[in-house]
Amino acid sequence: MNIAIDGPAGAGKSTIARRVAAELGSIYVDTGAMYRAMALYMIKNGVDAEDPAAIERTCEDAEISIRYQDGMQHVYLNGEDVTGQLRTEEVGNMASKSSACRRVREKLVELQQKLAETTSVVMDGRDIGTVVLPKAELKIYLTASAHTRALRRFQELAEKAKESEDENAVLPDLAEIEKDIEERDYRDMHRENSPLMQAEDAVVVDSSDLTIEEVTNCILKLAAQRKHTS
């Protein structure tokens, strides 16, 4: 059984998808990490985020692959494990731009479809239900208000700053994070190639007022129903 989970940044897709996959014994595929690895390659090569032709050209030299170690997804960029370098704001912002390029998407969609061919996956992203796995047995569109998503990101960053014990660590600015999220949503939803949108047959789950457990259980329930009816 393949499960597609799409939705905007910060809706909790990866946390939820990882839990659902663990419960079902499926493999969790984080497609955002693949777009981030491609973005990292652009940054390392000094590519201008506003130059789509340069992005299209440069992506031809980036070989992205995935391996699983102790059940955890590791992303390799030209043979180097870059998993630990992907979750920064800089990489996220570049990914939002470079993922709009047709050739970047072609390369990564092919990799994603191959992964789902031979094994049951829970895959999260923006175009999984619409483009990558249009025949997925269950499609979820996981969303939350921009303010809720900004607040979650703010708390995550504040926690990180506290843990770093660096006296000079700059505290994040909630209004700025919310603005960033709104801009990224707009770009993801309005790009020409595979914009973020709800698949016609997707079930919408709004996580604004739900806990992680509640959302996970809701999806597991839907998956069990689909299994019975298929």
Which residue ranges make up the site for ligand DC (CB under 6 A)?
Answer: 9, 31-32, 35-36, 92, 95-96, 99, 125-127, 184, 188
The Cα 18–Cα 22 span in angstroms is: 6
Nearer to ligand DC, 35 or 223 (CB): 35
The secondary structure of the chain as a DSSP string is --EEEE--TTSSHHHHHHHHHHHHTPEEEEHHHHHHHHHHHHHHTT--TT-HHHHHHHHTT--EEEEEETTEEEEEETTEE-GGGS-SHHHHHHHHHHTTSHHHHHHHHHHHHHHHHSS-EEEEESSIIIII-TT-SEEEEEE--HHHHHHHHHHHHHHHHHHHT-TTPPPP-HHHHHHHHHHHHHHHHH-SSS-----TTPEEEE-TT--HHHHHHHHHHHHHHHHHH-
Closest contact distance (angstroms) between CB of 131 and ligand DC is 8
Choice between 24 and 32, CB closer to ligand DC:
32
In terms of CB distance, is 73 or 96 closer to ligand DC? Answer: 96
CB of 92 to ligand DC, least distance (A): 5
Least distance (Å) between residue 85 CB and ligand DC: 13
Closer Cβ to ligand DC, 142 or 167, answer by number: 142
Q: How far is the CB of 107 from ligand DC (least distance, A)?
A: 12
CA distances for 42 relative to 146, 148, 164, angstroms: 28, 30, 28
Shortest Å distance, C-beta 224 to ligand DC: 26
Cβ at position 165, least distance to ligand DC in Å: 27
Q: How far is CA 138 from the centre of its chain?
A: 17
Is 90 or 221 the residue whose CB approaches ligand DC more closely?
A: 90
- Measured from the CB atom, the residue of 52 and 92 that comes closer to ligand DC is 92
Nearer to ligand DC, 109 or 218 (CB): 109
Residue 184 CB, shortest distance to ligand DC, in Å, is 5
Cα(68)–Cα(180) distance, rounded to whole angstroms?
31
